[in-house]
Amino acid sequence: MRLTALDEVAERIKLKKNQGVAEARAIFPLLDVIEEDPAADRRLLEGIADWCDRYTPLVAFDGKDGLFLDITGCAHLFGGERAMLKDILSRLFHMGLDVCGAISSSPGLSWAVSHFGSGGVIEADEMEHVLAPLPVAALRLEEETVEALKKLGLKYIGDLLCAPRAPLARRFGAQLLPRLDQALGAEEEPVSPRRPVASLSAERRLIEPIGTEEDILAVTGQIAASLKASLEARGAGGRAFELVLFRVDGRVFRIPVGASQPLRDPKHIASLFCERLQAIHDDLDAGYGFEILRLNVLRHDPFDAAQGDFEGGRQKEMSLATFIDRVSARLGTDCLQRFQLRESHVPERAVTAIPAMEGPPARRKAEVGNSFPSRSERPLRLFARPERMEALLAEVPDGPPQVFRWRRMQHRVATSEGPERLAMEWWIDGADAEARDYFRIEDDAGHRFWIYREGFYGHALPPRWFMHGIFA
């Protein structure tokens, strides 16, 4: 057993990471050791990252115990960089977290000052002055490189700033100089946010926290109204929305909803969240209330502002979309599905079920008609799996059955059409997949069926007959 993390008291008595627990207890017998729980540590860090979204949407993880916040264009909203950093650290301190932070124009410099310095705000003209007295480990180098630098007497970053660059690159590899340039801001180091950035976003910071559903929906409607102008300027409407609720104690709730058609109407958007809040009523713990509400537009599409016709077709379409949106918000996106054509001639693969929220892609009628057989050629009901049937009497070699038995009932064929040969897709079914000969038949009782034969007469294995669908 080894030590993986230390508090300030353990560091003062000269304990080190990766030190054996037995050795540490020999140094300090009253040492209190707690078993590491990486999953719990990760959940805590994710919770802090969610809380940091109130300052900027660009929050990224830094290993197991750190966060990067890209605050470009955000600091003035909190009174400047120093006021912003003070607010972050003080709030986290009152939440029971003792953290260190720094703000600079370089992520590498902020990391170095946070881990090996005293933190704070570093101006652009102070970068080298602040970086020079820090140890070389502050450059986020591998341990082997750090030890090799120390053996040569290069213990501090200031020793590297004045040294020739070419010998350093030859001696210590290609990692050292890029890390040094990143810390100095000479080389860009992008920060990858943990969540996709919303295309549009608006929020309300409340003087008094709220906790009831009525208050939440009222504020949501106000935020949605403020987003309408931005959507109109883009000629778009929202398809995926997210309501982010920041609780007073730091916990964050994210409530997503979607729409089958682009939306701008604030009342309609608020109604979707009304359905969603009623569905998750027991899981939404307001606690002491929510102090910040943010509405994100995660996805938007061009808005169709076509005028409705006199027959009311447009109104019916909008009513159906409203129904789909409300039911999906209440019961989930998979509760309603619709069929979408696929580029496949195999009947069971020609269509697929998709959530009604997504909607089928716009296609011309002529294009659909050319790529898919007419209704008279395909049955109204297609079985999910073809059912085996027995042909008692059939025309050889390529004719349909005259008498067959299906589901323990015997049928006599009166008329038939076919065959229509469909070859299977070799890249899915394999090169040895048998082709199918389909027939449209009608028995003497007037029932119409869609059957097919797999295999051919005269081969080693006799052909097999299947029932695949029923016509109206």
Do residue 214 and residue 317 come from a single domain? Answer: yes
User: Could you tell me if residue 142 is inside a domain?
Assistant: yes
**The predicted structure's pLDDT at residue 232:** 92
**The predicted structure's pLDDT at residue 362:** 47
**The predicted structure's pLDDT at residue 453:** 93
Do residue 180 and residue 47 come from a single domain? Answer: yes
Instruction: Choose one of 126, 158, 184: the last residue of a domain.
Output: 184
Alpha-carbon gap, residue 191 to 108, rounded angstroms: 11
For 194, other C-beta atoms within 10 Å of its C-beta total 16
Q: Beta strand 120-121 with 102-103: parallel, antiparallel or unpaired?
A: parallel
Do residue 170 and residue 78 come from a single domain? Answer: yes
Q: How many structural domains comprise the chain?
A: 5
User: Could you tell me if residue 189 is inside a domain?
Assistant: no
Do residue 143 and residue 47 come from a single domain? Answer: yes
Do residue 344 and residue 323 come from a single domain? Answer: no
Do residue 297 and residue 218 come from a single domain? Answer: yes
User: Could you tell me if residue 193 is inside a domain?
Assistant: no
**The predicted structure's pLDDT at residue 457:** 79
Contact between 101 and 119 under an 8 Å Cβ cutoff? The reply is yes
Do residue 133 and residue 257 come from a single domain? Answer: no
**The predicted structure's pLDDT at residue 367:** 45
Q: Which domain holds residue 274?
A: 200-328
User: Could you tell me if residue 48 is inside a domain?
Assistant: yes
CA 211, distance to chain mean position in Å, is 28
Do residue 47 and residue 171 come from a single domain? Answer: yes
CA 88, distance to chain mean position in Å, is 27
User: Could you tell me if residue 254 is inside a domain?
Assistant: yes
Q: How far apart are the first and last CA of the chain?
A: 73
User: Could you tell me if residue 130 is inside a domain?
Assistant: yes
Instruction: Choose one of 184, 209, 226: the last residue of a domain.
Output: 184
**The predicted structure's pLDDT at residue 312:** 52
| Angle at alpha carbon of residue 354, lines to 351 and 355, rounded to 5° | 155
**The predicted structure's pLDDT at residue 317:** 57
Do residue 101 and residue 178 come from a single domain? Answer: yes
Do residue 401 and residue 458 come from a single domain? Answer: yes
CA 262, distance to chain mean position in Å, is 20
User: Could you tell me if residue 116 is inside a domain?
Assistant: yes
In the numeric block, which tokens belong to residue 11? 């560091």
Question: CA gyration radius for the chain?
Answer: 34
User: Could you tell me if residue 190 is inside a domain?
Assistant: no
**The predicted structure's pLDDT at residue 363:** 47
0.75 exceeded by pTM = no
Alpha-carbon gap, residue 439 to 413, rounded angstroms: 11
**The predicted structure's pLDDT at residue 315:** 54
Give me the tens of pLDDT residue by residue for the chain, a chain 472 residues long: 899 888 888 888 888 888 899 999 898 888 889 999 999 999 999 999 999 999 999 999 998 889 999 999 899 999 999 999 999 999 999 999 989 999 999 999 999 999 999 899 999 899 999 999 999 999 999 989 999 999 989 999 999 998 888 988 888 888 899 999 999 988 988 889 999 889 899 999 999 999 999 999 999 999 999 999 999 999 999 999 999 999 999 999 999 998 888 889 999 999 999 989 988 877 889 989 999 999 999 999 998 765 555 555 555 556 777 888 888 888 888 888 888 888 888 888 888 888 887 764 444 444 444 555 666 688 888 898 899 999 998 888 888 999 999 999 999 999 999 899 998 888 888 877 888 999 999 999 999 999 999 988 777 788 899 999 999 7
CATH of the domain at 17: 3.40.1170
CATH of the domain at 280: 3.30.1490.100
Do residue 92 and residue 179 come from a single domain? Answer: yes
Do residue 162 and residue 180 come from a single domain? Answer: yes
